[in-house]
Chains A and B, each alone.
Chain A
Amino acid sequence: MKPIYMDNNATTRVAPEVVEAMQPYFSELYGNPSSMHGFGGNVGAKLKAAREHVATLLGAMPEEIMFTSGGTESDSTAIHAAIRAHPEKKHIITTRVEHPAVKNLGEHLAKNGYRVTFVPVDRQGHLDLDYLYKKLSDDTAIVSVMWANNETGTIFPVEEIAKAVRERGIVFHSDAVQAVGKIPIDMADSAIDMLSISGHKLHAPKGIGVLYIRKGTKFAPFLMGGHQEGGRRAGTENSASIIGMGRAAQLVMEYMDDENTRVRALRDKLETELLKRVPNSMINGDPKNRLPNTTSIAFEFVEGEGILLLMDQYGICASSGSACTSGSLEPSHVLRAMGVPFTAAHGSIRYSLSIYNTEEEIDFVIEKMPPIIERLRQMSPFWQQAQKAS
């Protein structure tokens, strides 16, 4: 059974062009880019080109691009760099809807001598900006706000926040893992100091990421050792993956239009049809201000794990905000922060598309979903109650 893959906010297919670009750098051109011989040095030249491609995607300078092992390392490095560059400051601001890479680090720091403010969101997932601005103080070491939410796709006004934060002389970091490649980003015209990117969310492989560090930003390395990455991140370069990342950066620039037209239209069709065909279903988050590929739909009175397993029978891959799928007992912290009621949070399914999805696949999912939900609702005591009540 060929998978119908609609879980691209979890990870993406590595683009065939990326695989092709990487292929020679395993067994043929395996030299160490730091070596003095040409065999390694030639790889160094390729890394330079890859860095330039990523810089172009972000509207940045090549020296502002630092390669890491992924989004999590980029987030951790950025936040640790800021607090170590300002050891006297003991306050951090982030949001209640961050990816665990930021959220759990924030919670950890809160137990280790830092004051951490988690900015709340409203029912549509919009940040309470007044609250954020009121909390800015001379003690604030860093403000970290994601560009777009991985579960709902809601886009946050990070440029606006960055400006306000910069006025106070505070470092601003954004986890842009979900946003890069889907919406235009131009660091040349931005007040953002640091930006995290993950390779495997944009058709590069897992295990490669980028931290953009604006020139002049106070920085302290997280990994120490060799002089790689301009002394900011030690460790022999992951050559093949960096080259793959460079190729992926070129590709997403090419595909960004497609993402925002065709993919958006597919997402809209999927969403509109499901809402029409499945009673008691609704969108989580702001339907307008959203990534073009993501929709989070709550199917009331059923539980996400069951939905996913029944979808899996047809090879349809997606994610759920339910508790049962995560191994924790609480539904998604994002949906709970938004105040999505339990009736809906447990039955929320996130579909996240990519350029590789086709209209046929969308039609297939539209056809298969309603009976899946109906089948589980027939078993659900709450559905019976809700039916009786109405």
Chain B
Amino acid sequence: MWDYTEKTKDHFLNPRNVGFIDDFDGIGEVGSLSCGDALKLTFKLGDDERIADAKFQTFGCASAIASSSALTEMIKGMTLQEAGKVTNDDIADYLGGLPKEKMHCSVMGRDAMEKAIAYYRGEAEKKIEGEIVCECFGVSDVQIERAVRENGLTSIEDVTDYVKAGGGCGNCHDKIQFIIDTVLGNTPRAAKKPEALTNIQKIKMIDATLEREIKPALNQDGGDIELVDVDGNRVMVKLRGTCASCAKSQITLKHYVETKLKELVSQELFVEEV
């Protein structure tokens, strides 16, 4: 069971401002059925240019409903400029905090607010900025970068908790890591410079990587690998034991040995069985 605060439970069990304002000034819709949560936010401005009324409809878990309810309470009485500055952290704070895995609910609230304001200001519906990184949940690199920057995220798991990216098939994990590394100012792994290695260094590193990283994994399955030669970037290896007869040995080589060597030694390397 999730560890929800009393305030979150209260906003779920007694949600404020459920509904739809027919003569809205602004409307923002985010999420979808397939993603598992969605929010439709409408607001109406008063004569004083402040938000006089706000209503929501939400499909999603308790924390999504509570976040939506909290958002509508928070923005009432605010100018649009003030409402535009409400962050997902503000929403989570208002509820006394959200479980880490549920932070994406507060992000959804913030996104809906921004969209509703953009609607009011007549800004055309923005196409998704950037390039889609997570296909499962349709999350772009721009969204991920923003979440990392604004919330100080440091791991793929964090990113999944905040914007869902990486929570499905997992194929985008490398790309997410790259974005995190870039934002944090670390040298992204893919940008390692291969020319810094001399031949002898390269061979030593390949040998060490095989011994330390690759052999133990293959040994687990009763297989073994031996380095035969290195010619430029061509790494020649011999497979022994069950690996040699395994129908997947080619795939093991390409996808495992080569990936490991590329990652840990040089991007230029390719592996061949001899």
Binding site for B on A (CB under 8 A): 87-88, 90, 112-113, 115, 139, 301-306, 309-310, 313, 322-325, 327-331, 342-343, 346, 378-384
Residues of B within 8 A of A346 (CB): 33, 36, 59
Q: Are B164 and A329 in contact (CB under 8 A)?
A: yes
Residue contacts A-B, CB under 8 angstroms, 17 given: A88-B245, A90-B242, A112-B217, A303-B37, A303-B59, A303-B61, A323-B36, A325-B61, A329-B168, A330-B136, A342-B36, A379-B15, A379-B56, A381-B39, A381-B57, A382-B33, A383-B59
Q: Are B36 and A306 in contact (CB under 8 A)?
A: no
B222 at the interface (CB under 8 A from A): yes
Q: By CB atoms of chain B within 10 A, which of A112, A310, A323, A379 has the most?
A: A379
Residues of B within 8 A of A324 (CB): 36-37, 60-64, 102
Pick the contact of B101: A112, A115, A327 (CB < 8 A): A327
Q: Mark B99-133, 1 if CB is under 8 A from A, else 0.
A: 00110000000000000000000000000000000
Q: With CB as the reference atom, state the residue of chain B lying closest to A380.
A: B59
Q: Are B36 and A301 in contact (CB under 8 A)?
A: no
Binding site for A on B (CB under 8 A): 2, 9, 12-13, 15, 18, 20, 29, 33-40, 56-65, 101-102, 136-137, 160, 164, 167-168, 217-218, 220-223, 242-243, 245-248, 252
Q: Are B247 and A379 in contact (CB under 8 A)?
A: no
Pick the contact of A90: B56, B137, B168, B247 (CB < 8 A): B247
Q: With CB as the reference atom, state the residue of chain B lying closest to A329.
A: B167
Residues of A within 8 A of B2 (CB): 305
Q: Could you list 4 further interchain pairs (A-B, Cβ under 8 angstroms) beyond the known A305-B61, A324-B61?
A: A305-B2, A309-B62, A310-B13, A323-B36
- Cβ distance B5 to chain A, nearest Cβ, rounded Å: 14
Q: Are B18 and A378 in contact (CB under 8 A)?
A: yes
Residues of B within 8 A of A331 (CB): 36
Known: A305-B61, A309-B12, A322-B61. A329 touches B222 (CB 8 A): no
In angstroms, Cα B218 to Cα A315, docked, is 51
Residues of A within 8 A of B136 (CB): 329-330
Pick the contact of B58: A323, A330, A381 (CB < 8 A): A381
- Cβ distance A330 to chain B, nearest Cβ, rounded Å: 6
Residues of A within 8 A of B222 (CB): 87
Residues of B within 8 A of A343 (CB): 33
Q: Are A379 and B168 in contact (CB under 8 A)?
A: no
Known: A90-B246, A306-B12, A306-B65. A329 touches B58 (CB 8 A): no
Residues of A within 8 A of B36 (CB): 303, 322-324, 329, 331, 342, 346
Residues of A within 8 A of B217 (CB): 112
- Cβ distance A332 to chain B, nearest Cβ, rounded Å: 12
Q: Are B247 and A115 in contact (CB under 8 A)?
A: yes
Residues of B within 8 A of A379 (CB): 15, 18, 56-59, 65
- Cβ distance A143 to chain B, nearest Cβ, rounded Å: 18
Q: With CB as the reference atom, state the residue of chain A lying closest to B40.
A: A381
Q: Are A305 and B221 in contact (CB under 8 A)?
A: no
Residues of B within 8 A of A301 (CB): 33, 59
Residues of B within 8 A of A303 (CB): 36-37, 59-61, 64
In angstroms, Cα B223 to Cα A306, docked, is 49
Q: Are A305 and B242 in contact (CB under 8 A)?
A: no
Q: Are A115 and B167 in contact (CB under 8 A)?
A: no
Q: With CB as the reference atom, state the residue of chain A lying closest to B246.
A: A90
Residues of A within 8 A of B245 (CB): 88
In angstroms, Cα B102 to Cα A306, docked, is 14
- Cβ distance A161 to chain B, nearest Cβ, rounded Å: 24
Q: By CB atoms of chain A within 10 A, which of B13, B20, B59 has the most?
A: B59
Residues of A within 8 A of B57 (CB): 379-381, 384
In angstroms, Cα B221 to Cα A113, docked, is 7
Q: With CB as the reference atom, state the residue of chain B lying closest to A325.
A: B61
- Cβ distance A37 to chain B, nearest Cβ, rounded Å: 43
In angstroms, Cα B57 to Cα A381, docked, is 5
Residues of A within 8 A of B20 (CB): 384
In angstroms, Cα B246 to Cα A139, docked, is 10
Pick the contact of B223: A113, A310, A325, A378 (CB < 8 A): A113
Q: Are B61 and A381 in contact (CB under 8 A)?
A: no
Residues of B within 8 A of A310 (CB): 13
Q: Are B62 and A305 in contact (CB under 8 A)?
A: yes
Residues of A within 8 A of B12 (CB): 306, 309
Q: Are A330 and B167 in contact (CB under 8 A)?
A: yes
Residues of B within 8 A of A342 (CB): 33-34, 36
In angstroms, Cα B103 to Cα A327, docked, is 12
Q: With CB as the reference atom, state the residue of chain A lying closest to B161.
A: A329
Residues of B within 8 A of A382 (CB): 33, 38, 59
In angstroms, Cα B58 to Cα A302, docked, is 9
- Cβ distance B46 to chain A, nearest Cβ, rounded Å: 25
- Cβ distance B14 to chain A, nearest Cβ, rounded Å: 11
Q: Are A381 and B59 in contact (CB under 8 A)?
A: yes
Q: With CB as the reference atom, state the residue of chain A lying closest to B34.
A: A342
Q: Are A329 and B62 in contact (CB under 8 A)?
A: no
Residues of B within 8 A of A322 (CB): 36, 61
Residues of A within 8 A of B137 (CB): 329
Residues of B within 8 A of A313 (CB): 13
Residues of A within 8 A of B248 (CB): 90, 113, 115
In angstroms, Cα B37 to Cα A149, docked, is 27
Q: With CB as the reference atom, state the residue of chain B lying closest to A377.
A: B59
